[in-house]
Amino acid sequence: QGTPVVLGIESSCDETGVGLVRDGRLLGHAVASSMEEHARFGGVVPEIAARAHVHAFTPVVHRALTEAGLRMSDIGAVAVTTGPGLSGALQVGLAGAKGLAYALGVPLYGVHHLAGHVAADTLAHGPLPDPCVVLIVSGGHTSLLLVRDLARDPIVHLGDTLDDAAGECFDKVARVFGLPYPGGPAIDRAARGGDARTVAFPRPLTGPRDDPYAFSFSGLKTAAARWAERHRGQALPVADGAAALQEAIADVLTRKAVAACTAHGVSTLVVVGGVAANSRVRALAEERCAAAGLALRVPPLKLCTDNGAMIAAIGDLLVRADAAPAPLDVSIDPSAP
Ligand code: KG4
Ligand code: ZN
């Protein structure tokens, strides 16, 4: 028999993701995104996201199974994101997960979206060292976590953003700069030809009296809007603005993450979430970890953004740790801490 194949389902935002993992190995995964349907609104519309999950759910399960060369009857457990996230979107994934688990007679695991992001890295680089510091940076979150055994120990929150998430800041500033949604990749591309030194953007909460692990990005968004305003009537040097914004965000994120490792005597930093895809965040994290003698782990791009493989990965860790499954009446927890 051996370890069961875990089917993971992610539907907390605009991605319907399904992954299949066994014994720490990714067997197959598929993602459908409703991102384009939200583009003209400049952000995710919850109702549209929920309907898109209904539409995508079964085909995405089918695609993931096909990619893995598996059949429905090979599934030994189902893991699903119960929160945090958009409630309508989460409901669709959970309903689908319950249906599958009940029909197949296999255990169901409700998992935390952020634990999934952390677990994503194990699919690329093997088990996480205990302890490690994890920086989660996405459109909804900017958190510094102290992680021990993912399946057994509670994750310790070192700090969070006090206002906007880093990805949200990328997305909002991109809009001000006239770049398309999602803004992160657009800023990243635009920044390639720019000079970050030509624009002085602030480094929020990096003063000696500030909380070393708290983040704030709404001031940066305002600073970028003011800078754009000053160019009214002229061509906006978007490349320079994009490079400077990216530099400011990357500087603050990596500075605080490395400080958290040093303060907690941790020798490995893991950076996950959509913003971990940012080229400057990656480069600066590499540079600063090397200088501080830290190992850096960043999962590949496809595992960084929301996906089902990461949910299957945490499900697989729970199964192998003999964790108790969820009852079939488990609920979503949209504002899970
Ligand atoms: O993890 P993710 O797919 O979804 C959330 O849970 O939010 O992250 C999406 C976020 C978006 O804000 C997007 O703009 C940002 O990640 N992002 C990037 C890049 N690629 C995606 N931000 C900066 N640079 C990138 N290359
Ligand atoms: Zn996410």
The CATH number for 20's domain is 3.30.420.40
Neighbouring C-beta atoms of residue 35, cutoff 10 Å: 15
- Position 1 scores a pLDDT of 63
Q: Specify whether 107 is located in the same domain as 134.
A: no
Which residue ranges are tagged as binding site for Fe cation? 113, 117, 306
- Whether residue 337 lies inside any domain: the answer is no
Q: Is the distance from the beta carbon of residue 183 to the nearest atom of ligand 1 less than 6 Å?
A: yes
Which letter does DSSP use for residue 327 in this model?
A: P
Q: Which residues are annotated as a binding site for substrate?
A: 136-140, 171, 184, 188, 278
Q: Are residues 200 and 112 in the same domain?
A: no
Residue 215 Cβ < 6 Å to ligand 1: no
Q: Are residues 133 and 218 in the same domain?
A: yes
Looking from the CA of residue 174, the nearest atom of ligand 1 is 14
Q: What is the DSSP letter of 154?
A: P
Same domain for 89 and 144: no
Q: What is the mean pLDDT of residues 187-215?
A: 96
Residues with CB under 5 A from ligand 2 (ion): 138, 306
Chain segment 288-334, per-residue pLDDT in tens: 999 999 999 999 988 988 999 999 999 999 999 999 999 999 999 99
Domain span holding position 46: 5-118+304-320
| Overall domain count for the chain | 2
238 exposed, middle or buried (CB, 10 Å; 0-12, 13-18, 19+)? Answer: buried
| Average pLDDT of span 42-59 | 94
Residue 256 maps to a domain: yes
Q: How far is the CA of 11 from the centre of ligand 2 (A)?
A: 10
Q: Could you tell me the pTM of the whole model? A: 0.91
The answer to whether residue 276 is domain-embedded is: yes
H-helix or E-strand containing 298?
none
17 lines ligand 1 (CB under 6 A): no
Do 211 and 312 lie in one domain? The reply is: no
Band of pLDDT at residue 203, cut at 50, 70 and 90? very high
> What span, in angstroms and rounded, lies between the C-alpha atoms of 107 and 1?
16
305 touches ligand 1 (CB under 6 Å): yes
DSSP track, 25-86: EEEEEEEEE-HHHHGGGTS--HHHHHHHHHHHHHHHHHHHHHHHT--GGGEEEEEEEEESS-
User: Is 84 found in the same domain as 175?
Assistant: no
Count CB atoms within 10 A of the CB of residue 317.
26
